[in-house]
């Protein structure tokens, strides 16, 4: 598998990564065994970048149960800001407070069965929220605590 450096991180990752939102939905992958087969096959083929989020329902749990025993073989990204996922209204819960971000990451780490993620991404955080400073303070704390190696942004702008 061809690799490259991810942005300015110095992290080597496979050119092809896997977005894991689909494995979080019961109708997509109905058993942990199916997910385990898919994710382990991806690792066996040299895919080393896995991207998930707390709001992808069962995705983080599936990753933790399936491949946490091979954690040294891949780079793991998750997201914060939408802690509870999609609500019945069709809207996402949003929490950009320091406490909310730290709690989201701690829950993610527990589900992923790891003590750190390689990349914690803000999930569609607005410029207005960023300018308030709390989000940056939270990201700084996660990095200082050794829970994240790098911080970034995932979204529509």
Q: Out of 56, 58, 92, 153, which one is annotated catalytic?
A: 56
- Kindly give the confidence (pLDDT) of every residue in the chain, 157 residues in length, as a single tens digit, with 9 standing for 90 and above: 999 999 999 999 999 999 998 888 766 666 888 899 999 999 999 999 999 998 888 899 999 999 999 999 999 999 998 766 555 555 667 888 999 999 999 999 999 999 999 999 998 888 898 888 899 999 999 999 999 999 998 887 5
Q: Which residues fall within 8 angstroms of residue 86, CB to CB, at 6 or more apart?
A: 55, 92
The reported pLDDT for the residue numbered 92 is 61
- Containing 67, the helix (H) or strand (E) segment is helix 59-67
Q: Which residues contact 15 (CB under 8 A, 6 or more apart)?
A: 1, 2, 3, 4
Q: What is the C-alpha separation between 63 and 138, in angstroms, rounded?
A: 24
pLDDT for 154 = 86
Tell me, yes or no, if 56 is annotated catalytic.
Answer: yes
Quick one: tokens of 125?
Answer: 């955080």
- The H or E element that residue 18 is part of is strand 18-19
CATH number at 76 reads 3.20.20.100
pLDDT of residue 90: 57
Tokens for 23, please give them: 């494995």
CB 24 within 8 A of CB 58: yes
Query: Using an 8 Å Cβ cutoff, are 114 and 147 in contact?
Result: no
Residue 149 is predicted with a pLDDT of 98
CA distance 23 to 39: 10
Q: How many domains does the chain have?
A: 1
How, if at all, do strands 148-154 and 3-5 pair? unpaired
Displacement of CA 7 from its chain's centroid (Å): 17
Which pLDDT score is estimated for 30? 67
| pTM, rounded to two decimals | 0.89
Q: Could you tell me the residue range of the domain that residue 54 belongs to?
A: 3-154
Question: Other CB atoms closer than 10 Å to residue 142's CB: what's the count?
Answer: 22
């Amino acid at each position: 598998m061809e690799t490259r450096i991810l942005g300015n991180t110095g992290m080597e990752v496979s050119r092809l990564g896997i977005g894991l939102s689909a494995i979080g939905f019961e109708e997509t992958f109905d058993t942990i065994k199916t997910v385990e087969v898919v994710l382990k096959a991806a690792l066996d083929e040299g895919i080393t970048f896995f991207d998930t989020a707390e709001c992808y329902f069962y995705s983080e749990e599936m990753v933790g149960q399936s491949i946490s025993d091979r954690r040294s073989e891949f780079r793991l990204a998750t997201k914060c800001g939408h802690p509870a996922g999609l609500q019945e209204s069709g809207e996402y819960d949003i929490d950009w407070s320091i406490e909310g971000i730290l709690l989201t990451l701690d829950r993610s780490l527990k589900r992923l069965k790891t003590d750190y993620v390689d990349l914690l991404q803000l999930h569609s955080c607005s410029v207005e929220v960023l300018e308030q400073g709390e989000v940056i303070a939270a990201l700084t704390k996660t990095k200082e605590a050794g829970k994240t190696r790098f911080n970034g942004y995932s979204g529509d702008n």
